Structure 1
């Protein structure tokens, strides 16, 4: 697996790892009485009644194991959803024996609304990644007050950390860390890359998983099954990052029962692939560089920041710098090869801590790579980056839905359009997606039906949120998705990176107001937003 931060994964504030994971084995089921939600008209709170619908079964039970403690799970109602692993054939037609085939189990946690009189339509959270575990993202949802007026439902997507089987591959995360000491675009790196992918494939196969079933089509059916087995007549959907990709397919494939949809850090399935990550990098970088240029102190101390960055990329790709850094969680010094590709990888995530970017680039331009190297290594060696991502789901999405519909030449052309001055050696490996076609050849799953790339057309009320510094999924993607959603509102929150709900109080206010009134979200807070105060070196 590549040394990448996938376009649907939002790094934590500690560069550039994933969001903090969830709790290790938290246990209790909260039973606070809530108003009626069930289709049957009973007054049982969501998630307290076992139910089977069309071969899917929800069973109340203990809360799932999680990688990090999540104290709020103590008041959650939890359980599991059991579904067929394979409902559909490779051509998209239904598998007639699905109910009698292999079953998989998905963890469910329901955080009750803070209000004493919650709305009857809950929100279901679609996690990022692909491959992140939804339960681990509970803290972000609660910090953003998403459960102010509604229950919020978290279900681990198939293959993720809290699901059974879980298709994590720690060997890939470990390789991603070691790969910082390799030249990114060297043939020897490609060979090691694919070797790690094959080892992951063998691990997934040893668990008996059908690699071809880990995709948006099956996951969308999982969420439809969850709604039905919970007895929810109407719910709202909120997807972040890759979760927006899944949400757009879900609302296209199973629109019944969806009241409204929020998507944040938008990755439309019709665009997904390497070319769009080049576009995203260009848009996010330019947003940050423009903010520095418009701030007098930053522009005076770091003039022509964009030109400096582009020059450094070319120079480092031709002549990489090798250094060593210390990482708190690693006993030995870590080798980092800072080439052009790794500099782009760094900045893709560093937009989350934009205040320090101009100073870090200036230090590098004056021969000091330490700050950037430390941030790269700190992210890849962080405990949050090891053993938590479902690479079985990652490759399932990439290799069935992306690479069959995008050639290597498409990726190169996307890179050339976004960064015409970059060396050709860099263009075949898009940001966050190095050696993707080679990995997918090794993963060996059939293409999903072409319809999985269809543009979503819908009149379901939709909020499309983007960040002005988003270098992972592109600020312009929100407006692109909204153009075929007849009742949509597209909002770009300036000066914020990928997944604005995580970092912007304004974005949180807009989101909660949207679910309260989908026809008229309150966007007034945008008028008062200010750019970051960039660090100015003495």
Structure 2
């Protein structure tokens, strides 16, 4: 269930996706020396153009002048004999002969990409298109991702739900199967000469600066979504002189330890915000008590797992015997919390799950789990480059044991179950990847005096507003803009108000943003038991 999020494709609802799929301390890592690394990387970087772009632009894309290619950098700029790696880029040219500092856009995950057809749709006239009137836009892939060379993925891991079913494995057996598959991919990568220790946030930040220089820019405006927002803070720390301004969309602070450690708290904070939004909506408040619904649904598993069967409607020969656990329910709830469509339906779905107790829970959750297992049969791709994802996550304050998770005494059963499932998976997978940790001085919040706009959604269960507040606390020129009904990554939700505020910030980063459009944003409401919407 590797948790990651692609900001331009939230699979549960929006145009983008961070698919919910899915430390060892090694000796020998010294402080990476950002200044010397930056100089070496920038000096050795070069641009390798491509005659054809990475994909064909969709017919609905507005007229855009595109250039695609690779920025070629050393895998380890501290070594004279380092092999080269390639970072895919897509540049949209400004509609002026005298452009301002370009907008560099970095995706999340880690392991996701902005270089795909959906990203071009952002630049219609009604959203971010006017940005191109004044500046270039550069989508840059991080090392190891889909449009990089090499791609650090693990194709065999995506079909494991089906393989585990075929082998009759329980949850522990399935987890071990995943660890073995990832360990196999790690061995293959190392046999091919890939140094996984070079795939971390410090190296990637140096790549961004090397790309800036190679593409011919003195300074840039940096936009980062989700993990890209965390990466942006590393860039701010190591390369402040390369920045004109920064936009962080769905941010975590560097001082915060692994997000896995605090997933329980984050989930409960977001659930409380959702409950408050429902309570302020008369029709929703009359129909639902969201915390009570979640608690009652989790209590269905107090007497143990629920066993059921799933019949594939497309193939009568496929009939799965399933064991449903509290973790399955928790994963379902979290999935509905992560985007605009799902979050509006969550109370109605919980009501349906509870309708006939364990019987209705078996039907609904079994349908979902069975569909996912069958869909994984033969799968070789996901939204993230999983090996790159794990190398980055497992180099930055990785979790080593259950004791690493922060659990408040009053934490909900739902948050505990979800957090435990995430924790268990990352402990095992980080053991398989076995990369050295970043030095402790990378865990200090940045204090860079660069104008910074932080976009945050009040309903965000991945990076709740409390995380953005930690980021802003040490940045003297930071402004947080909170969206009361926003979930994770505002541009990914095609939040028109966020786009308006972003465009104004780019025009004048020193000015206080006009957030008046937030009050004018339409209420979306909740799905009620009769199928209508609660908007008053």
Residue of structure 2 in register with 1:124 after alignment:
104
- Please list, as runs of the form range in 1=range in 2, the aligned pairs for 1:183-202 lying within 5 A after superposition: 186-202=171-187
- Please list, as runs of the form range in 1=range in 2, the aligned pairs for 1:71-470 lying within 5 A after superposition: 72=61, 75-87=65-77, 95=78, 98-113=79-94, 115-116=95-96, 119-136=99-116, 138-139=119-120, 141-142=122-123, 144-145=127-128, 147-149=131-133, 150-175=135-160, 186-271=171-256, 272-302=258-288, 304-316=289-301, 318-321=303-306, 322-324=308-310, 326=312, 332=318, 337-351=323-337, 352=339, 353=341, 354-367=343-356, 368-369=360-361, 370=363, 381=375, 386-403=381-398, 408-411=402-405, 414-417=406-409, 419-421=411-413, 426=417, 429=420, 431=422, 433-470=423-460
SS in 2 for 1:153: strand
CA contact (8 A) 2:310 2:370 kept: no
SS in 2 for 1:463: strand
SS in 2 for 1:316: coil
**Distance apart, 1:9 and its partner CA:** 3.8
Structure 2 residue corresponding to 1:508, chosen from 499, 504, 514: 499
CA contact (8 A) 1:15 1:378 kept: no
Q: Residues 184 and 145 of structure 1: is their aligned pair in 2 closer, same or farther, counting only changes over 3 Å? A: farther
Cα distance in structure 2, aligned partners of 1:154 and 1:244? 14
**Distance apart, 1:174 and its partner CA:** 2.2
Q: Residues 479 and 532 of structure 1: is their aligned pair in 2 closer, same or farther, counting only changes over 3 Å? A: same
* TM-score, structure 1 as length reference: 0.81
**Distance apart, 1:394 and its partner CA:** 0.9
CA contact (8 A) 2:87 2:149 kept: yes
* TM-score, structure 2 as length reference: 0.81
SS in 2 for 1:435: helix
SS in 2 for 1:515: helix
Find out whether 1:15 has 2:12 as its counterpart: yes
Residue of structure 2 in register with 1:5 after alignment:
3
Find out whether 1:471 has 2:461 as its counterpart: yes
SS in 2 for 1:162: coil
Residue of structure 1 in register with 2:519 after alignment:
527
SS in 2 for 1:135: coil
Q: Cα deviations across residues 68-116 of structure 1 (Å, max 9, x unaligned)?
A: 86565973112211111013xxxxxxx2xx2431110111110123x44
Cα distance in structure 2, aligned partners of 1:342 and 1:225? 43
Q: Which segment drifts farther, 12-21 or 281-290?
A: 12-21
SS in 2 for 1:464: strand
Residue of structure 1 in register with 2:26 after alignment:
none
Cα distance in structure 2, aligned partners of 1:456 and 1:442? 31
Gaps of 5+ in 1: 22-51, 88-94
**Distance apart, 1:313 and its partner CA:** 2.0
Q: Residues 466 and 374 of structure 1: is their aligned pair in 2 closer, same or farther, counting only changes over 3 Å? A: farther
Structure 1 residue corresponding to 2:45, chosen from 50, 56, 59: 56
Q: Which segment drifts farther, 68-77 or 162-171?
A: 68-77
CA contact (8 A) 1:58 1:80 kept: yes
Q: Which segment drifts farther, 217-226 or 522-531?
A: 522-531
Cα distance in structure 2, aligned partners of 1:379 and 1:13? 17
CA contact (8 A) 1:161 1:390 kept: yes
CA contact (8 A) 2:16 2:492 kept: no
Cα distance in structure 1, aligned partners of 2:525 and 2:168? 34
Count the aligned residue pairs. 488
CA contact (8 A) 2:223 2:246 kept: yes
Q: Which segment drifts farther, 491-500 or 69-78?
A: 69-78
**Distance apart, 1:164 and its partner CA:** 0.6
**Distance apart, 1:173 and its partner CA:** 2.2
CA contact (8 A) 1:133 1:156 kept: yes
What is the RMSD of the two structures over their aligned residues, measured on CA atoms?
3.4
Residue of structure 2 in register with 1:39 after alignment:
none
SS in 2 for 1:268: coil
**Distance apart, 1:215 and its partner CA:** 0.6
